[in-house]
Amino acid sequence: MKVTLLQHTPDPEMAVALAARLCYSPIGIDELKERLSRSDISAFLDKIMSLGHQSVLEHASFTFGIEGISRATSHQLVRHRIASYSQQSQRYVTHTEQFSAVIPPSIAGRPDLAARFRSQLKALHDTYAELFEAGIPAEDARYILPNAAETKIIMTMNARELLHFFGLRCCERAQWEIRAMAVEMLRLVKGVAPTIFRDAGPGCVAGPCPEGTMTCGKIVEVRKRFKEMYV
């Protein structure tokens, strides 16, 4: 898996702070911008986020390039509807060579099962290739491709939706692949918007565990890991 922060709103924290200040100020935007210092921005962001004034976070957006994830994970990802997606097409990108696939660690760690898994992947590819060579359109031959097939996707989300996304997908109860992807996304955005994402992560980082009786039971460990996340 490879996750890259392709681009983002220039100075995202300035954009958010400026939008928030504008709501409460009679002066013009240019003057507001001149008055905002770095310390003001950090302090003001802390205040508005503690008050739950999160609509202003929608002025900052982040675009990620994500490669080497399974179709199973991309199907989970696109359920987050307040985002924009562009995904590699199986209609127009053919797999005449052996397609790449993601093997879950629970299977990869068991040689006997991993061998059977790879054997099935090869059989699926061989059938796909036979269909394609027989003149079946790629858009129909792809029906035989598995959820394990790798895909690539470019995704854009605003900061408010990212906080929601991290709360769900960085959680220990999220599936391992989308959790690994979300954690790497969080590491990347913390580097460019540290105040906005300071308390980001699973729901238990900034409050009680939202999973109730389904809690992973590792709240202290999880909080420590996300509070100490490197950027």
Instruction: Report the binding-site residues for FAD.
Output: 55, 79-81, 87, 158-160, 164
User: What 3-state DSSP class applies to 28?
Assistant: coil
Extract the annotated binding site for dUMP.
76-79, 87-91, 142, 169
Binding residues: 55, 76-81, 87-91, 142, 158-160, 164, 169
Residue 110 appears among annotated catalytic residues: no
**What Rg value do the Cα atoms of the chain yield, rounded?**
22
Burial 142-180 (b: 16+ CB within 10 A, else e): beebbebbbbebbbbbbbbbbbebbbbbbbbebeebbbb
Catalytic, out of 21, 71, 169, 198: 169
Torsions phi, psi for 10 (to 5 deg): -60, 130
Among candidate residues 218, 66, 38, the one with its CA nearest the CA of residue 152:
66
Helices and strands, number each (H, E), in the chain:
10, 4
**E strand or H helix at 164:** helix 159-169
Q: How far apart are CA 148 and CA 164, in angstroms?
A: 26
Tell me which residues are annotated as active site. 169
